[in-house]
């Protein structure tokens, strides 16, 4: 064996000597005692040697962690499913109102816009969100208000900003209005 090997890995083995015993590695498995200096670690999967501080926004963060919201329960960020169901309830209700009162399906969009705008501004939830147990809140804790509800509603009606989400499940309409949909 070379001098470099012995300089790096410890003591010399005399010619004809055999390796006996084991060194207990950090992973709990034994390695033959080759006279290594220090502990011998066992890599359990590819990339495990690349550990370090966890980055903010890593894949294993839960939605809302960056916003200071709880992972579960009241005040936690609402998932996609409940939000979609609430939207469907609101749209169906507005469609029924348009057909019943105005005898035209074309008014559904305008009634939906008015419902979302007024109820979000005044109460923080629409009929569908209330039935599902969701509400819209501002990140600074203040009521949504008429100005931010208008911004949020206009972008919601544009559809595309509402379906582009970030890792906290906030659509662009929520980000623009500094709001988030949470469980009530």
C-alpha atoms less than 13 angstroms from C-alpha of 101 in its C-beta half-sphere:
9
Give mean pLDDT, residues 107-130: 96
| 146 vs 6: which has the higher pLDDT | 146
In whole angstroms, give the CA distance from residue 73 to residue 134.
Answer: 11
Q: What is the pLDDT of residue 150?
A: 96
The residue among 150, 161, 160 whose CA lies nearest residue 114 is 150
Q: pLDDT (tens digit, 9 = 90+) per residue, 16-75? A: 555 455 444 444 455 454 555 555 555 444 544 445 455 554 555 889 899 889 999 999
Structure confidence at residue 1 as a pLDDT band (50, 70, 90):
low
Give mean pLDDT, residues 142-150: 94
Q: How far is CA 116 from CA 9, 84, 91, in A?
A: 70, 14, 10
pTM across the whole model: 0.66
Give mean pLDDT, residues 157-178: 90
Q: What is the pLDDT of residue 161?
A: 86
């Amino acid at each position: 064996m070379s001098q470099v090997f012995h300089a790096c890995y410890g003591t010399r083995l005399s010619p004809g000597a055999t390796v006996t015993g084991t060194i207990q590695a950090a992973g709990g498995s034994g390695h033959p005692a080759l006279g290594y200096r220090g502990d011998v670690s066992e890599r359990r999967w590819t990339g495990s040697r690349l550990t370090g501080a966890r980055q903010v926004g890593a894949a294993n963060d839960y939605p809302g962690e960056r916003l200071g919201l709880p992972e579960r329960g009241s005040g936690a960020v609402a998932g996609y499913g409940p939000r979609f169901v609430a939207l469907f309830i609101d749209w169906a209700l507005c469609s029924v109102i348009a057909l019943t009162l105005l005898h035209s399906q074309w008014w559904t969009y305008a009634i939906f816009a008015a419902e979302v705008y007024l109820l979000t501004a005044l109460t923080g939830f629409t009929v569908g969100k209330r039935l599902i147990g969701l509400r819209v809140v501002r990140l600074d804790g203040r009521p949504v208000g008429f100005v931010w509800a208008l911004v949020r509603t206009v972008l919601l009606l544009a559809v595309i900003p509402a379906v582009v989400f970030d890792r906290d499940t906030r659509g662009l309409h929520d980000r623009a209005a500094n709001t988030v949909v949470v469980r009530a």
